[in-house]
Amino acid sequence: MALNLRTSDPELRVDDSSPLELLAAARELSAWDDTTRYVADYLLNAWTLRACSNDDPESIGELETVLDALLERLPNAAQLPESLRGRWQGYLSLLAGQLLRLPSADDLKDLLAREQIHKLLQSLPTDGRYLAQSELKDAESYSASRLSQLLGEIADHGLISSRKRGRHKDWRLTERGQQLLAEPNPMRQPRPSKVAAQAAVTANPKASAQRGMSAFKEIKKAA
């Protein structure tokens, strides 16, 4: 069902609509009015907060594209009041800052290559339900401080989130964590270390020297 920007309850459309659907609906508007501006802002606010809390790069990228179009490229963009333009520019800044702090694919690969990290992730329910920290697989194998350190490291990568329950803590997989573990071949191989790279050079120094000389000649030729 197409997104209706005149809906009386935009909260109901947060989960069953998307930023691209909002953009399509905005394209059909001959002019923005109070209702359509309110509904669009409500949805963009909710989606921005969710994308940032879930550390979801795909959702962040989609929202950045949609916000840029709403602010600059649509024929009706000039009709947006400055106060609303300022709010949407703020959403863009928030999304851009969140994207910058997300770990790279190499960082995730290194993290998941650690067996203790992977076991902790696999012990959490795949449907996003919370699990008590004490019930995590092999939790008794670590001291409380070490377990908290490991879980904090995973959380910093946007794969899990927590909630407090009295003096206890529960953990769950974020949407990003669920997607990553659902992949048929999760990234489990770490990047080659400097030691491994040095070993490759030592094993065949002649070939490495030839490659280095060829690269030097190409650079000199280009200069």
What tens digit of pLDDT does each residue of 187-217 get?
A: 444 444 444 444 444 455 455 445 544 544 4
Does residue 95 lie within any of the structural domains? yes
Residue-level pLDDT at 212? 46
Does residue 171 contact residue 160 with C-beta atoms inside 8 Å?
Answer: yes
Tokens of 90: 């703020």
In this structure, the answer to whether residues 46 and 66 fall within a common structural domain is yes
Residue 185 pLDDT: 53
* pLDDT for 202: 47
Polymer length of the chain:
223
Q: Which amino acid is at 15?
A: D
Shared domain for 81 and 56, answered yes or no, is: yes
Owning domain of residue 38: 10-101
Extract the residue ranges of the chain whose pLDDT is less than 70: 1, 102-104, 184-223
Q: pLDDT tens digit string along 26-45?
A: 999 999 999 999 999 999 99
From 101, 124, 140, give the residue that closes a domain.
101
pTM of this prediction? 0.53
Q: How many domains does the chain have?
A: 2
Within a domain: residue 200?
A: no
Whether 93 is in a domain gets the answer: yes
Q: Are residue 116 and residue 84 in the same domain, yes or no?
A: no
213, two tokens: 């000389």
